[in-house]
Amino acid sequence: MFKIRVAMQRDAFALDVSIDVSSPGVVALFGRSGCGKTTLIDVIAGLLKAHDSHIEIDGVVLEDTASNHYVESERRRIGYVFQDARLFPHMSVLANLHYGLRRARGVAQRTSFDTVVQLLGLEALLERRPHQLSGGERQRVALGRALLSQPRLLLLDEPLAGLDAARRDEVLPYLERLRDELAIPMIYVSHQFEEVLRLATHVVLMSEGRSVAQGTLDSVSLHPELRAIVGPEGIGAVLSGRVEVVDESSGLASVRVGGNVLNLSLRGVRPGAQVRIHLLARDLILATVRPEGLSVRTVLQGTVARIADDDPDTELVYVDLGGPFVVARVTRAASVALALRIGSPVWVLVKSVSIRGHAFAIPEPARA
């Protein structure tokens, strides 16, 4: 789908990243601010020049230093949604939307005006001016404007960063709809784990100008670099699974992850749906004997795979569940009392309600 290799040096900052993604979907560039995410997508958009680069999207080479090939930004057909929306203040919403559409006339239209307006709920805004819009509305219009320029790739630079929590929750579902209903590949820059958890199909973890890990969110969720981005409280394994049974009366859904079944407090999903669950290390409980008589609805069996230092009082215990891994934070005292060591058989207890706000439906995994 796309191959990107970019190397550049700006003052004291060096960027050296390569990304190779074969399936369409949302690629999240995830990393701390200042790690070069925005610089990278500026290069992809053609707004910045790298000294050594190869950018290829859907088989079309947009720049290649080796063959001295460079397509100007305005000819790349790469949509860009900026953090600050950047709507044209002297135009109505309608004129903003038409700006890219009109300039994409020669191109086969894959996204129509009506589709975009309906998908993003823009009907009521068309006559307004940008300064009459709320932050969330502005980002929706910016999304629509970029989509209507018929891009082969859509870049989103922390489109929710400037919004408060309520506005963010208002825009996120629209982004999910775009991902699920339009087949436009996206590169989504973020340093918010929740956004990545909800949107990404592929994650590139960046640190200090380099991509330190890439793959599915499940596979990078245990990477040590994540700690620096999400903070100690945000550490946890991400598991993808399929909903098997939904019990509407109790609000519990059983989700199969590999050979395990988790009973989770999860409404609004259907049997067969793919879900992604973030199991926070601080929410997991370990036991060395199978416990009984507990309110906990999920007890998983596994073996300790690794024990890592966390802070002076705690350790992170990685447990192999026969495929998927989870990580639990336990006090050193508890670790000693339970005599935890690599290879110890343990039971992992998952409180059903602890995953509220940490589990989301995702599209079918793409066939690689």
Partner 1 sequence: MATPAAPVTTPYTMPSAVCSLLRGAGTCKIAALSMTAAEIDALRLSLSVALRSVAVSLPFAIAVAWLLARSRLRGRMVLDAIVHLPLVLPPVVVGYLLLVLFGIRGPIGRWLYESLGVQLTFTTAGAALATAVMSFPLVVRAIRLSLESVDHGLEDAARTLGAGRWDRFFTITLPLMLPGILAGSVIAFAAGLGEFGAVITFASNIPGETRTLPLALYTALQTPGGDALAARLATISIALGLMGLLTAELLARRMRRLLGR
Q: Give whichever of 45 and 281 is closer to partner 1, judged by the CB atom.
A: 45
Q: Give whichever of 146 and 266 is closer to partner 1, judged by the CB atom.
A: 146
Q: Tell me the closest approach of the beta carbon of residue 152 to partner 1, in angstroms.
A: 12
Q: Give whichever of 30 and 82 is closer to partner 1, judged by the CB atom.
A: 82
Binding mask 13-52 for partner 1 (x = CB under 8 A): --------------------------------xxx-----
Pick from 2, 30, 82, 325 the residue near partner 1 by CB under 8 A: 82
Question: Are 275 and 217 contacting, i.e. CB atoms less than 8 angstroms apart?
Answer: no
Q: Tell me the closest approach of the beta carbon of residue 149 to partner 1, in angstroms.
A: 5
Q: Tell me the closest approach of the beta carbon of residue 37 to partner 1, in angstroms.
A: 17
Pick from 8, 19, 30, 80 the residue near partner 1 by CB under 8 A: 80
Binding to partner 1 by residue 146, rule CB under 8 A?
Answer: yes
**8 class by beta-carbon count within 10 Å (0-12 exposed, 13-18 middle, 19+ buried):** buried
Binding to partner 1 by residue 86, rule CB under 8 A?
Answer: yes
From 281, 274, 277, select the one nearest 226 (Cα to Cα): 281
Q: Which residue has the tokens 């960063």?
A: 161
Q: Give whichever of 79 and 302 is closer to partner 1, judged by the CB atom.
A: 79
Pick from 11, 12, 67, 89 the residue near partner 1 by CB under 8 A: 89
Q: Tell me the closest approach of the beta carbon of residue 108 to partner 1, in angstroms.
A: 14
Report 93-132 residues binding partner 1 (CB under 8 A): 99-100, 103-104, 129-132
Q: Give whichever of 59 and 106 is closer to partner 1, judged by the CB atom.
A: 106
Q: Specify the stretch interacting with partner 1 by CB under 8 A; choose among 50-58, 88-96, 229-237, 356-364.
A: 88-96
Q: Give whichever of 131 and 367 is closer to partner 1, judged by the CB atom.
A: 131
Question: Are 266 and 355 contacting, i.e. CB atoms less than 8 angstroms apart?
Answer: yes
* Total residues in contact with partner 1, by rule CB under 8 A: 29
Binding to partner 1 by residue 90, rule CB under 8 A?
Answer: yes
Q: What are 182's two structure tokens?
A: 């339009």
Binding to partner 1 by residue 70, rule CB under 8 A?
Answer: no
From 287, 141, 276, select the one nearest 195 (Cα to Cα): 276
Q: What are 69's two structure tokens?
A: 């090939």
Binding residues vs partner 1 (CB under 8 A): 45-47, 72-80, 82, 84, 86, 88-90, 99-100, 103-104, 129-132, 145-146, 149
